[in-house]
Amino acid sequence: MFNLFRLHDWKEDLTPRSWIKVGGKKLLNEMRKIVIEILNNKNISIRELAKIIASKLNTKWEFIASYLREIKNNRWKERRPFIPIPLIESLLETKSPEGGEEKWNVIHLAEWFVCGVPLSKPIRLPKKLTKGLAKICGAHVADGTLVKSKTKHGFSYTWRITHGDRIALEYLRSWIKDSFGIDAKIKKSNHGNFYIISINRKVVFRFLTRIIGFPIGDKSSIISMPEIIRNSNQEMKRNFALGVLNFDGCVNIDGCVWLTSKSKRLRDKVAEIMKNDGLEVFTSTKSDKNGRWYLRSKALENRSLLLNYFIKRSKPWLRAKGFIDNFKNEDILSIFKKTSTSKTSLKEVLNLVIKLKTFDKIVLSRKLGVNEKTSRTYLKILEKAGIIKKIKSNSRISFPVILDNFDDTTRLKLNSRFRKRLFQKLLDKYKTLTKLAEVMKTNIKNVSRWKLSQRKLTINNFKKLLALVGLKEKEASNGIEGFGKNIYVLTDYLNQSYS
């Protein structure tokens, strides 16, 4: 159970205006019994008790006396009455200086928490660690900020979380609603492609800083798992890791789970949680040039547990489930959109494949401005989703279909009989390989290799040779026995491709 008395800061909350107040029928009834008991046992008046309490709280006794009368008589000026936390604590100490379990039991009777003059809208607070609160803690250590600013009447308190995936923030909004009773608003940022949840509530701010223990201001390099979660069970720790990974991690285009953090302690704790679930996790031994520490998990072999670390229908969850289920029933192009950290998207790759009629990773990489590994990975995703299919090098496809579906740089394998016939016709016309090389605008070495089948012909050169001797495309189809290597083809063309 949380020590909710810590919501009051004795150094900062110096005036009644700044005090946090609590309410609830059970709490008010219990405080009435306590006030009456103190008055009877000490045989003092409300005025005398008010002066004792006021001296401890450094405020006017008349202010305290008005509260004591309302508590004792159960007659309140406000429709929904609240009692300041420092007043409750002082009354309990006056009744039982040694404190004890009663002090904890009384404060946990509180149902609502408010602050300010006039009073803000009441909110709830968790009395103990819950799954939702663990997820909130994970989201905060990833993308949250706590800001306290000096104002004319004291301080302003802001808790802000920013993220690029609105679905993740919708879930965070529901966790906040369940934990604090606050209907948080999600706003689109004017300074980038991301969304913001901002809560200006002192009670929540104090709960996160003085109960949970989060630091105020920049936390990126010092943040770690809160002690209350560190001392909890694996289920709570997993929910914390879910919050971290959904707001600071990702599922990469190769299907690996990645987490980057400037806090090595946080990275190590998340890795420990995942390892305790039997997931294989790799961690960097050194930080990168930006001071970030990495975690990577090829967790697809433990599929059921992997999805427990992501919010359902969020971008990481969709990617993870896609790699598990081969992207069945999913809009794969929307899952791999272009982001601030990626130079291209799956849609751009597919459109370029269709436009250029090529699956050559070198050509695609140059056009897209990415490395060959990225192009190769995107091709594998398209293959996994069934959008393209790998064709073996010995597959026989008619030449007209080849011309329609492949770019001119694709290399073809000719059968021996057709190759001999083609080059016999060429030599009958041009007499020597040297003359043929001049016509083809290449060197004799290449022509000689084509003749001896030491180098596969590109579609472009094959078309030129056919044109030189007047052979038609239909005749050429019988001479093609495959390709220079395994290649891809769009599945839309598969039915017409195989002869």
Tens digit of pLDDT for each residue in 165-179?
Answer: 888 899 999 999 999
The pLDDT-based confidence of 293 (bands split at 50, 70, 90) is very high
Q: Are 12 and 155 in contact (CB under 8 A)?
A: yes
Mean pLDDT of 247-267: 88
Q: What is the pLDDT of residue 20?
A: 93
The pLDDT-based confidence of 299 (bands split at 50, 70, 90) is low
Tens digit of pLDDT for each residue in 410-450?
Answer: 888 888 888 898 999 999 999 999 999 999 999 999 899 98
- Count H helices, E strands: the chain? 24, 16
DSSP-assigned letter for residue 212: I
C-alpha distances out from residue 59 to 32, 46, 52, 71, 284, Å: 22, 16, 11, 18, 56
Tens digit of pLDDT for each residue in 348-397?
Answer: 988 888 888 778 888 889 888 888 888 888 888 888 888 888 777 777 77
The pLDDT-based confidence of 301 (bands split at 50, 70, 90) is low
Sequence-separated (6 or more) residues with CB below 8 Å from residue 18 = 12, 115, 154
C-alpha distances out from residue 479 to 126, 363, 401, 444, 469, Å: 76, 27, 14, 23, 15
Task: Tell whether the model's pLDDT for residue 122 goes beyond 70.
Answer: yes
Task: Tell whether the model's pLDDT for residue 406 goes beyond 90.
Answer: no
Q: What is the pLDDT of residue 492?
A: 64
Task: Give per-residue burial for 249-267: e unless 16+ CB within 10 Å, then b.
Answer: bbbebbbbbbbbbbbbebb
Q: Are 41 and 248 in contact (CB under 8 A)?
A: no
Question: Of 283-297, 379-393, 447-461, which has the strongest mean pLDDT?
Answer: 283-297
Beta bridge partners of 14: none
Pairwise pLDDT comparison (188 vs 484), residue with the higher score: 188
Q: What is the pLDDT of residue 497?
A: 35
**What backbone phi and psi angles, to 5 degrees, belong to 399?**
-65, -40
Q: What is the pLDDT of residue 118?
A: 65
The pLDDT-based confidence of 278 (bands split at 50, 70, 90) is confident
Q: What is the pLDDT of residue 22?
A: 94
* Mean pLDDT of all residues belonging to the chain: 86
Q: What is the pLDDT of residue 99?
A: 64
Tens digit of pLDDT for each residue in 13-23?
Answer: 888 888 999 99
Mean pLDDT of 295-316: 77
40/52 Cα distance (integer angstroms): 15
Task: Tell whether the model's pLDDT for residue 268 goes beyond 90.
Answer: yes
Q: What is the pLDDT of residue 303?
A: 64
Q: Are 429 and 469 in contact (CB under 8 A)?
A: yes
The model scores a pTM over 0.85? no
Tens digit of pLDDT for each residue in 126-165?
Answer: 999 999 999 999 999 999 999 999 888 778 899 999 988 8
Q: What is the pLDDT of residue 117?
A: 63
Q: What is the pLDDT of residue 495?
A: 42
- Output the six-digit token pair for 12: 């900062």
Q: What is the pLDDT of residue 356?
A: 81
31/91 Cα distance (integer angstroms): 9
Task: Tell whether the model's pLDDT for residue 452 goes beyond 70.
Answer: yes
The pLDDT-based confidence of 238 (bands split at 50, 70, 90) is very high
Q: What is the pLDDT of residue 493?
A: 40
- The rounded percent of the chain whose pLDDT value lies above 70 is 94
